[in-house]
Structure 1
Amino acid sequence: MMNDNKVLDVFDKPAPGRWLALSLQHMFAMFGATILVPQLVGLSPAIALLTSGLATIIFVLVTQFKVPAYLGSSFAFIAPIQMATSTGGIGSAMIGSMFVALVYSLVSLLIWTTGSGWIMKFLPPVVVGPVIMVIGLALAPTAVSMASTIQVDGEAQYNLLHFSAAIVTLAAAIICLMFFRGVVSLMPVLIGIIVGYIYSASIGILDFTKVHEADWFEIPEFLIPGIDYEFVITPALLAIMVPISIVTISEHIGHQLVLGRVVDKDFIRDPGLNRSLLGDGLGTLLSGLLGGPPKTTYGENIGVMAITRVYSVYVIIGAAVFAIWFSFMGKLMAIIATIPQAVLGGISILLFGIIASSGLRMLVDHKVDFGQQRNLVIASVILVIGIGGASIHISDAFQVGGMALAAIVGVLLNLILPGRTDDSLADSPTE
């Protein structure tokens, strides 16, 4: 097993000094990706950090301290949040996030009463893989635009100087992935952003005004429903956000399976998929109520555990506490706000590409046979609908499109077309 030489098991408590170092390591592993999502969708990085810490603690409590997983910002919701914000303001995205949490809770209840077998068959790799590819590929134009253009009089114009910052950022992240081992290879986002930031400072494209004006201690910018925005539910909003639950629930199951193999425990059985999914949902609900992005368990932190062989849930709790503390550090949050768009674009080129490639990897790992017309049809339709931005407009108040429509159509095709197999996410190969 992968944990034959484990250093700390799930319920083991490390010594105080070691606890501090191990928790900081986990906090930095998730830091770059967690703050990148709010930067891309117009939310507060401080709130994203705060809610990631709170959501993780909720998750640990709901799973009875049995699952050492960290919850960070979900990349699957970047495009839906941008769409919801463009039509109804950022408050709409937060409301949508809460309804996503409701879907998690309902599915959790169903699993609790009927078992998890049905959902494992409901979301086969031939559906989930292409939908994950759509998430990354649909965001590709956004990443390239951020990396290579700046706003001049309200119009995007190509700028070579800013593009050079994106290239340096991308190169630093790739070097971390390819030429380093251990924990460094698990933090390419954070290290890439730091290197890109330093380079940006050297070429004079940073503005430190906000850093000088910021206090050392600042309350994060909350977005409270009924106070900061009106709580208005529309069919269009639900159509934009809720179908993405198909993807994130699949991601959740996959992470629980991989984490179980790392730790050598069956988390699908104990504490149960219903508990872990409920923990994810409640974390996302709290995040939406406070103004943060939807949450998901993070592969980066699973990777840290695989390398360090430290599986202690108390180390994860420590990382969550650090995230909460960092969210109130005004100077740090101000520095994050000065990160150039080009740097974020450079790291997004890699990240969005990895998301798309992970969908392709799922198809390869599960040996999905594209010699079968059924599989070819499902994957082809999902990719074209999702990347092409196809949409269905029933009225001005209701429309569904993009990756949401792609996910729905993929599930329906899988149910309707003849020749279904028994392949499911539960058959994932050991990583």
Structure 2
Amino acid sequence: MKQQVMDVNEMPKGMKWIALSFQHLFAMFGATILVPILTGLSPSIALLSSGLGTIAYLLITKGKIPAYLGSSFAFIAPIISLSQSEGLGAAMFGSFLAGVLYGVIALMIYKFGSDWLNKILPPVVIGSVVIVIGLGLASVAVDMAMNIKVDGQTVYSLKHFMVALSTLAIAVIASTVFRGFLGVIPILLGIIGGYIISLIVGIVDLTPVKEASWFALPIFTTPELSWKAAVVMLPVALVTITEHIGHLMVTSSIMERDLVKDPGLHRSILGDGVATSIAALIGGPPNTTYGENIGVLAITRVYSVYVIAGAAVFATSFAFIGKLGALISTIPTAVMGGVSILLFGIIASAGLRMLVDNGIDYSDKRNLVISSVIMVIGVGNAALKLKGIHVDIEGMALATIVGIILNLVLPKQAKESEELEMEIVTKQTKEVKGKTVKVGV
């Protein structure tokens, strides 16, 4: 195992600090601005909420976890759905409640541990829901890649589709061929490459950049009370909490220390929740810890929270540069569609990998039923319309709720129970033998 280059509380100096912070800024940039572009939010406000959320997280975790928080992809579909039916303000209210739920779960983990969460959301449920998150957005990515709006009508464009495929190709090559830091930012490289191609073929209008001022306030959105938003957002928050736990485990492994104990899983989840609530209050997408930045930690072996904080300060500052926000707004939808094809596919594949890594046995009809129902309800965007209280539960939210219920009510096979008992007996036998050997030595 490689030795660390810089520990958590070590502060780099001068240009080295700036360079290391910019690495983390670039790692999160492409994905963080993609979420607001897809959901109709302001990219500038996403940068601001990302920076402020990360700083809040570092403070809550007592500066012991070098994690960067950016826009969460899990909430894209719910935000789009709520924005169309209830408005962006309602989506922000739901996001705020998701942050509050993080806080409640953090308190429960502090008091009772995390075993109860594992029982409610085992890998078979989480993996299936993550697949739904990716595949449920497939039509959005394809539509962005090959269609354009002409006089209010959706029209197929071969030119735009070729730009999307070129963008996808660049991102795929960067992801599979490049090594080191470049291999960590394939989405950003794909967007840059796609944008250059778009300039060459003439589908970029730079007028907004010329007209924009250098300094501009981000566009804020105020949360608006909506109970439908609560029903749609909260089940998704349960899924992202388990994703957060996974990220913390990976970071612990990279740093070779138990971050679950110190500063504690409850502090980490609370920090994520506070970051998400801050984002919602100013009109940004919910935040989550970023795998891209964890990848940078693994490559550089630099764990300094000052480096992460530096990236957060840069992101916050960039939110007020009007020309940067205007430049981001000129990125053609074809480019974003191209990288989205890869991103949403990766999300779905991550769910599949979760099922494989956890050894989910589909010869067990219980697992087969749970996964099948979750995926069809989620990808099919089934809806439960409760007219009496004017609330619709649909798509991913409904799939998550049904999955949790099925997991709790369906009986486990006798074979599975026997195997579990054998596992416990074998473990106990090994522990006894281990103790005997230790005493003998």
TM-score for both structures, normalised by structure 2:
0.92
**1 CA distance for matches of 2:177 and 2:278?**
39
Q: In the TM superposition, what is the alpha-carbon distance from 1:365 to its structure 2 partner?
A: 1.1
Letter in 1 for 2:398: L
Q: In the TM superposition, what is the alpha-carbon distance from 1:269 to its structure 2 partner?
A: 1.4
**2 CA distance for matches of 1:224 and 1:134?**
29
Q: In the TM superposition, what is the alpha-carbon distance from 1:116 to its structure 2 partner?
A: 2.1
**2 CA distance for matches of 1:102 and 1:134?**
24
- Match status 1:293 vs 2:285: yes
Question: What is the aligned partner in structure 2 of residue 426 from structure 1?
Answer: none
Letter in 2 for 1:83: S
Determine which of 155, 160, 178 is the counterpart of 1:157.
155
Aligned residues: 415
Q: In the TM superposition, what is the alpha-carbon distance from 1:110 to its structure 2 partner?
A: 1.0
- Match status 1:148 vs 2:153: no
Question: What is the aligned partner in structure 1 of residue 52 from structure 2?
Answer: 54
Deviations 1:22-68 (A, max 9, x none): 10000000000000000000000000001100000000000010111
CA contact (8 A) 2:92 2:222 kept: no
- Match status 1:406 vs 2:371: no
**1 CA distance for matches of 2:312 and 2:383?**
39
**1 CA distance for matches of 2:267 and 2:119?**
19
Q: In the TM superposition, what is the alpha-carbon distance from 1:176 to its structure 2 partner?
A: 0.2
Deviations 1:87-124 (A, max 9, x none): 11111111111111111111111111112222233321
Determine which of 62, 70, 76 is the counterpart of 1:78.
76
Letter in 2 for 1:81: I
**1 CA distance for matches of 2:385 and 2:245?**
32
Question: What is the aligned partner in structure 1 of residue 343 from structure 2?
Answer: 351
Determine which of 413, 416, 423 is the counterpart of 2:409.
416
Identity %: 56
Question: What is the aligned partner in structure 2 of residue 228 from structure 1?
Answer: none
Letter in 1 for 2:275: G
Runs of 4+ in structure 1 over 4 Å off: 420-423
Question: What is the aligned partner in structure 2 of residue 429 from structure 1?
Answer: none
Determine which of 37, 40, 45 is the counterpart of 2:38.
40
Question: What is the aligned partner in structure 2 of residue 214 from structure 1?
Answer: 212
- Match status 1:317 vs 2:309: yes
Moved more, 142-151 or 389-398: 389-398
Question: What is the aligned partner in structure 2 of residue 427 from structure 1?
Answer: none
**2 CA distance for matches of 1:332 and 1:86?**
27
**1 CA distance for matches of 2:120 and 2:245?**
12
Question: What is the aligned partner in structure 2 of residue 193 from structure 1?
Answer: 191
CA contact (8 A) 1:83 1:240 kept: no
Deviations 1:360-387 (A, max 9, x none): 0111111111111111111111111100
Determine which of 316, 329, 339 is the counterpart of 2:331.
339
Deviations 1:374-402 (A, max 9, x none): 11111111111100111211216112111
**What RMSD in Å do the two structures reach over aligned CA positions?**
1.3
Deviations 1:187-210 (A, max 9, x none): 011110000000000001111110
Question: What is the aligned partner in structure 2 of residue 177 from structure 1?
Answer: 175
Question: SS state of the match for residue 396, structure 2?
Answer: helix
Deviations 1:265-319 (A, max 9, x none): 2122111111111100111111000010000000000001011111111111111
Structure 2 counterparts to residues 92-107 of structure 1, below 5 A: 92-107=90-105
**1 CA distance for matches of 2:28 and 2:225?**
32
Question: SS state of the match for residue 306, structure 1?
Answer: helix
Q: In the TM superposition, what is the alpha-carbon distance from 1:348 to its structure 2 partner?
A: 0.3
Deviations 1:125-159 (A, max 9, x none): 11100100000000000100000000112121100
**2 CA distance for matches of 1:203 and 1:9?**
47
Letter in 1 for 2:409: I
Q: In the TM superposition, what is the alpha-carbon distance from 1:216 to its structure 2 partner?
A: 1.1
Deviations 1:217-267 (A, max 9, x none): 111111234xxxxx3233x22121111112111111111111111111212
Determine which of 198, 221, 224 is the counterpart of 1:223.
221
Question: SS state of the match for residue 392, structure 2?
Answer: strand
**2 CA distance for matches of 1:311 and 1:416?**
44
Deviations 1:302-339 (A, max 9, x none): 00101111111111111101101111111111110000
Q: In the TM superposition, what is the alpha-carbon distance from 1:352 to its structure 2 partner?
A: 0.2
Q: Which runs of 5+ in 1 are unaligned?
A: 226-230, 424-431
Deviations 1:399-423 (A, max 9, x none): 2111111111111111112227779
**2 CA distance for matches of 1:253 and 1:210?**
41
- Match status 1:363 vs 2:369: no
Structure 2 counterparts to residues 258-277 of structure 1, below 5 A: 258-277=250-269
